[in-house]
């Protein structure tokens, strides 16, 4: 609890057996009330391990739905459990759970409804071993996206994000892709809804288990991000309609 708000961490997991426990042990349980892990039909024993180490809410998809599909299940479960603040953290030990405390401080004190842990603010990304091609792609996509959606974020691609529950009342994530571009669509919806985003500097670690997305998947993701930004630009002008930006009733 923080300021009377219920704090829930969601872990969208896929083959996370080697890194899950390390990630879980660093979660600051002095403020975190509950943890939800969704196993997207992993090929390893992620779900069994999650139960063994004491995660209360473990959901296993029967089929692999994808990273976005996984998050849809995560947020829906966290909201059902009465979360006021939801932190999405990858269980691949790439981002430190210790940052949950300042992130919750920002949202819980009403400063921002959304906080991103940025690897690009400061020297986190390259220092932590982000491959050069990913770094360059990140910087170019971020520049293009900042121009098209009228923002000044340091990056749109971090997997460490937190949201107040009100965000989910203003945007409809059920309309989003089930693939990796889900994250980018969600940020686009947040910006479209004029919700302000805060950023904190985040160290990051690149090692085998923390990064499995290959070059081809990265290119597909990059093109998806460009499409999201272009549609956002024209939707803002009122020239195109997109189901992503429909107001929730
Ligand atoms: N649900 C789901 N998640 C996946 C899949 N492939 C990767 N992920 C997750 O997506 C996240 C980002 O992938 P990762 O390989 O860590 O990317 P990187 O750290 O950006 O290089 C991680 O939490 C992975 O566990 C998949 O097929 N399904
Ligand atoms: Mg990773």
**Residue 150 domain-assigned?**
yes
**Residue 151 domain-assigned?**
yes
**Residue 26 domain-assigned?**
yes
Which pLDDT does position 145 carry in this prediction? Answer: 97
**Residue 1 domain-assigned?**
no
**Residue 146 domain-assigned?**
yes
Band of residue 234 on the pLDDT scale cut at 50, 70, 90: very high
Q: What is the mean pLDDT of the chain?
A: 95
pLDDT digits (tens, 9 = 90+) for 146-202: 999 999 999 999 999 999 999 999 999 999 999 999 999 999 999 999 999 999 999
Q: Is 8 helix (H, G, I), strand (E, B) or coil?
A: strand
CATH code of the domain covering residue 105: 3.90.550.10
| Domain carrying residue 96 | 7-245
Q: Hey, which residues does 3 pair with through a beta bridge?
A: none
Cα of 212 from ligand 1 centre, angstroms? 6
The total of structural domains in the chain comes to 1
DSSP-assigned letters across all residues of 66-95: -HHHHHHHHHHHHHHTT-SEEEE--TTS-B
Higher pLDDT, 131 or 52: 52
**Residue 164 domain-assigned?**
yes
**Residue 209 domain-assigned?**
yes
**Residue 226 domain-assigned?**
yes
Mutate which of 13, 17, 23, 67 to test ligand 1's pocket (most atoms within 8 Å of Cβ)? Answer: 67
């Amino acid at each position: 609890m923080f300021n009377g708000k219920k704090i829930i961490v969601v872990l969208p997991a896929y083959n996370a057996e080697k890194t899950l426990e390390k990630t879980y042990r660093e979660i600051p349980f002095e403020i975190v009330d509950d943890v939800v892990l969704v196993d997207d039909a992993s090929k390893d024993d992620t779900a069994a391990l999650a139960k063994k180490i004491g995660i209360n809410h473990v959901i296993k998809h029967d089929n692999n739905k994808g990273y976005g599909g996984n998050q849809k299940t995560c947020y829906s479960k966290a909201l059902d459990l009465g979360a006021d603040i939801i932190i999405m953290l990858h269980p691949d030990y790439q981002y430190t759970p210790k940052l949950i405390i300042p992130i919750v401080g920002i949202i819980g004190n009403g400063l921002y409804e959304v906080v991103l842990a940025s690897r690009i603010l400061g020297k986190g990304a390259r220092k932590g071993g982000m491959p050069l091609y990913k770094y360059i792609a990140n910087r170019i996509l971020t520049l293009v996206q900042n121009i098209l959606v009228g923002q000044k974020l340091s990056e749109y691609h971090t997997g460490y994000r937190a949201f107040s529950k009100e965000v989910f009342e203003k945007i409809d994530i059920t309309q989003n892709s089930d693939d990796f571009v889900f994250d980018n669509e969600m940020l686009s919806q947040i910006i479209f809804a004029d919700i302000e985003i805060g950023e904190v500097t985040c160290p990051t670690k690149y090692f085998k288990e923390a990064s499995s997305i290959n070059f081809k998947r990265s290119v597909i993701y990059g093109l998806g991000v460009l499409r999201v930004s272009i549609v956002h630009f024209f939707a803002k002008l009122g020239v195109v309609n997109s189901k992503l930006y429909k107001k929730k009733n």
